[in-house]
Chain A
Amino acid sequence: GQNIDQPTEMTATEGAIVQINCTYQTSGFNGLFWYQQHAGEAPTFLSYNVLDGLEEKGRFSSFLSRSKGYSYLLLKELQMKDSASYLCAVRVQAGTALIFGKGTTLSVSS
């Protein structure tokens, strides 16, 4: 079976840095994705990693270690609007659907 684990909830304060971890055990690997989802809305794409290392995009960075089956999403200079659910997803094979973790609900307070 496919398994993707991430923490259920996290809290942080405005201006801080938060790291959301994701571990996966899947039958194959063709990329790891991070999405942001606000309540009642569809997910929006944040990042994509297929090779080991860090991908930086503004305040958001994502890291991948394929040998460890591990990724993290790093959010810097947190803002209240960053309060949302963050979904880690793996694509097992090119052209196939993404398999999602259960999501991490991040609450940012002032």
Chain B
Amino acid sequence: GAVVSQHPSWVICKSGTSVKIECRSLDFQATTMFWYRQFPKQSLMLMATSNEGSKATYEQGVEKDKFLINHASLTLSTLTVTSAHPEDSSFYICSASAGGVETQYFGPGTRLLVL
């Protein structure tokens, strides 16, 4: 199957700092990437849909100015958590779709801990 990578896998930061998470599709071009967040013992919640070359579409309740998404190429999308706070501590997972492909492929996830 297709491979999606995320970097970093773990990040610990101080409150108020910004953190950038990269999501890459390694062996296919992803016209669309999705960013999810998962809190402990809960399911994946969609944060935003990222389309190459256009603005991301955010789900209700997700602050677009706090969670900046850039999808500059067909293989890379980045999520920047600006001015992170402890409540932003979570497991962030991206998935990628090539459009017309039946399934979405998930990255390994990034665990963020804000102190």
State the A residues within 8 Å of B (CB): 31, 33, 35, 40-45, 48, 50, 87, 95-103
Contact = CB atoms under 8 A, between A and B. Distances in A.
Interface string B91-113: 10101010100111111110100
- A-side binding surface: helix, strand, loop or mixed? loop
A42 B106 contact: yes
B102 A43 contact: no
Contact of B103 (A40, A45, A100): A45
Given A42-B109, A101-B43, A102-B42, A96 B49 contact: yes
Interface of B: 1, 32, 34, 36, 42-46, 49, 91, 93, 95, 97, 99, 102-109, 111
A19 B99 CA distance: 31
A42 B107 contact: yes
B70 to A, nearest CB: 18
Nearest to A89: B44
Nearest to A101: B43
- B-side binding surface: helix, strand, loop or mixed? strand
Contacts of A99: 46
Contacts of A44: 106
A40 B104 CA distance: 19
Contact of A98 (B1, B104, B108, B111): B104
B69 to A, nearest CB: 13
A31 B102 CA distance: 8
B46 A42 contact: no
A35 B38 CA distance: 15
Contacts of B34: 97-98
